[in-house]
Amino acid sequence: MAVEICVKAATGAPDILGDCPFCQRVTMTLEEKRVEYKQQLINLAAKPQWFLEVNPEGKVPLIKFDDGKWIADSDVIVGILEEKFPNPSLAAPPEVSSVGSKILPCFFKFLMSKDASDGTEQALLDELKALDEHLKTKGPYVNGADICAVDMSLAPKLYHVDVALGHFKGWTIPQSLTHVYKYKELLYSRESFKKTQAAKEHVIAGWATKVNA
């Protein structure tokens, strides 16, 4: 089965893989399922005409299987990948499907915040503590011993938390959240993560356009 995926190119470097956590979620899933795919880098600052024609919203990731139809939205794509390539299974049971789901919006609010007392840092800490508590009882991965779709979603988001908040705010996840640290080590050491991650400087460049806007 021919699989083609459009992902974000790096900000200011259109020939290099960019920093979209939703794109990495999908490419990690493809890697974990050992699905061969062709990757196209899309410069979001100058989207090609063909891309906008098949995808008027202009968002990535965008995937095409051998039926020739382009599909957007990482949630939808991951669901289809699970159906088309059931082995190894990355399906997550309903009770863990929302674990860590508020980390990215909380991270974004804290990153963009100009007011240290507005509660955005605490909101992110609360979400990270909740993840730590979950991993303490259910770990090492979100659903126990085996990696699942929720981990694919969280790995790039935690990477963005580390890189962007470290750079723009000098902030790091508290060392007391030992289970989150072990979890990050597990995720970041996986071949699927290493093969699909954007370089730190491209994560910083990607967020700089928003932080400095």
What is the set of active-site residues?
A: 20
CB 30 within 8 A of CB 80: no
Q: For 36-148, where are the alpha helices, taking DSSP H only?
A: 49-54, 74-84, 103-112, 120-138
Q: Tell me 96's DSSP state.
A: G
Helix (H, G, I), strand (E, B) or coil at 148: coil
CB 143 within 8 A of CB 172: no
The H helix count followed by the E strand count for the chain is 10, 5
Q: In which element (H, E) is residue 151 found?
A: helix 149-160
According to DSSP H, which parts of the chain are helical?
21-32, 49-54, 74-84, 103-112, 120-138, 149-160, 166-169, 178-188, 191-196, 200-211
Write the burial class of residue 72 (CB in 10 Å: 0-12 exposed, 13-18 middle, 19+ buried): middle
Identify any residues that bridge with 70 across adjacent strands, giving them in sequence order.
64
